[in-house]
Structure 1
Amino acid sequence: MKISVLTVCWNSAATIRHTIDSFLAQHHGDKELVVIDGNSSDETLSIVRSYPPDQIRLVSEPDSGMYDALNKGLRLYTGDAVGVLNSDDCFHDRTVLGRISAGLETADIVHGDLDFVEDHLSKRVVRRWRAAARPAKGFRAGWMPAHPTFYVRRKVADAVGAFDLSLKVASDYDWMLRAVELHGFQTAATSHVLVDMMVGGASTRSLASHIGHNLEALRARRRWLGSGLVDYALVAKPARKLGQFLSKQRGESKV
């Protein structure tokens, strides 16, 4: 199974080498990395171009943000399955794509564990996200997968379509909700850390960003699931994340 990985970047010279190295180190051989650059002005492009081009496809042009770039990636990838690896994140170890490929042999969607790390040198874990199987009410119950670990077969990506550009920080949540809740695809969780994610992303860097993400997520549930002005997940979703901080030493938090 060929797995395509989409990496969106803009002025990511400080981190993208870690990202690419973790992709190239994967034992799973049938893979491609599609780098969608937003016309970087730092050394990002020269770093990407320093790698052999046989497994890396590069597009660099102005875009309207991360989700616009991801939509370009969805039009460009050539694999049997696709997922996203952010330009400041890394695969946790060399077995990740192999585990994803194995999971997708029997499921349409695979997701797994994620560690939030301070940086990719110390790998100091500040929060642990542990995947759980979809509960009966799914997204209505406050459950969601970790998007950086979320890989889907091509038929899923084709059915879900583009990321919603009207959502600024939760379009990935909206995309996963549509994939899981609207089409009846089979989902599987793997209890293995798939990605080391650096803290400070668009939806996690501040209290205001957390609030913005949760309000946009509610908007998605109202649109697709018929939720009211306030629903159970508006409280349950943040509460589940609190458990990730409290149990980071034990690695026990399930979401």
Structure 2
Amino acid sequence: MKNKLSIITINFNNKIGLRKTIESVISQTFNDFEYIIIDGGSSDESVEVIIENKNKINYWVSEKDNGVYHAMNKGIALANGKYLLFLNSGDFLYDSTVLEKIFMNEHKADFLCGRCAISRKGEVIHITNPPEIHTFQTYFKGSINHQSTFIKKEMFLRFGLYREDFRYNSDWEFWIRTIILNNCSTEKINEIVCEYNLEGISSTENNSEAYKKEIFDVCSQPILQKFIPDYEYWSNEQKSLAPLYWLKSKKILYIPVLFLYRFALYFSKKR
């Protein structure tokens, strides 16, 4: 019988983060899931951490791969769950009951989008809040969190795997390919699913030329070019109007400035 969920953890030379991730998974009160760990041939003690917990892990492998998304695709090929959750080493489920609270009800949507606690140096600095309705605006210079999104395995069978030529943005490209261009369904989950460590490569290198090139590659698709220029235009317009919006939010300043503007306008017409 198919599990409701497959949890896939990708790891490379992060034994401390891996231990924390594993502990958060195996302590769950919900148990209708399988756990898969894909290690990229770590040279630290990651494999020892895996072996210590092997009775709670359904499948694991430690071998050289071609990057994060290649490792994720290997996990997808092995997964048997209806939904897949990618929880990389160093990220961890928010509490021991989170999966039980989410899967106590049946879900039909292609993507279940939960909240995520974003942390830096062990301190939570922000909690994400996915939208009720996903439009291109959701992903235009933004995204949803990968670690708190449950993805039907069927999505990968219908629309293909993660692009392995991408180093940073293959999950974002997958959201565009499925949710935006193929109108796949989403459901907002109000639970905080996990805590995500901002020291990951996609966060620390998001100003690199390679990162920007991947974004450009996705956005250069002809169908997206039919409306991206409009988004760029209105984004620039919003930036230019930002001082006005700020001023309008400060009534104590906005009212006298508005009065002076109208006063000047009145006298300019009198001339």
In the superposition, the TM-score normalised over structure 2's length comes to 0.76
Q: Which residue of 2 aligns with 1:251?
A: none
Structure 2 residue 221 is the aligned partner of structure 1 residue 219: no
Unaligned runs of 5+ in 1: 240-255
Amino acid at match of 1:127: H
Residues 205 and 130 of structure 1, relative CA distance in 2, 3 Å threshold: same
Distance 1:72 1:30 in 2: 21
Equivalent pair of 2:116/2:127 in contact (CA under 8 Å): yes
**4+ residue runs over 4 A deviation:** 138-143, 228-231, 233-236
Residues 56 and 138 of structure 1, relative CA distance in 2, 3 Å threshold: farther
Distance 1:178 1:234 in 2: 23
Alpha-carbon shift at residue 10 of structure 1 (Å): 0.7
Structure-to-structure mapping, 1:1-255, within 5 angstroms? 1-102=3-104, 105-119=107-121, 123-139=122-138, 141-206=140-205, 208-209=207-208, 212-223=210-221, 225-227=223-225, 231=229, 232=231
In the superposition, the TM-score normalised over structure 1's length comes to 0.80
Alpha-carbon shift at residue 136 of structure 1 (Å): 4.0
Q: Which residue of 2 aligns with 1:244?
A: none
Equivalent pair of 2:206/2:212 in contact (CA under 8 Å): no
User: 1:193-246 CA distances to partner (integer Å, 9 max, x unpaired)?
Assistant: 11101121111115624x75454234223337422796437996xx9xxxxxxx
Distance 1:87 1:37 in 2: 10
Equivalent pair of 2:205/2:211 in contact (CA under 8 Å): no
Alpha-carbon shift at residue 157 of structure 1 (Å): 2.4
Equivalent pair of 2:134/2:186 in contact (CA under 8 Å): no
Distance 1:127 1:170 in 2: 21
Distance 1:15 1:52 in 2: 17
Amino acid at match of 1:58: W
Report % sequence identity. 24
Unaligned runs of 5+ in 2: 239-271
Alpha-carbon shift at residue 13 of structure 1 (Å): 0.8
Distance 1:48 1:189 in 2: 33
User: 1:83-124 CA distances to partner (integer Å, 9 max, x unpaired)?
Assistant: 2001010011123323443566232210111112234xxx41
Residues 126 and 225 of structure 1, relative CA distance in 2, 3 Å threshold: farther
**Greater share of residues in helix:** 2
Alpha-carbon shift at residue 17 of structure 1 (Å): 0.7
Let me know the Cα RMSD of the aligned residues. Answer: 2.7
Distance 2:116 2:8 in 1: 17
Equivalent pair of 1:3/1:101 in contact (CA under 8 Å): no
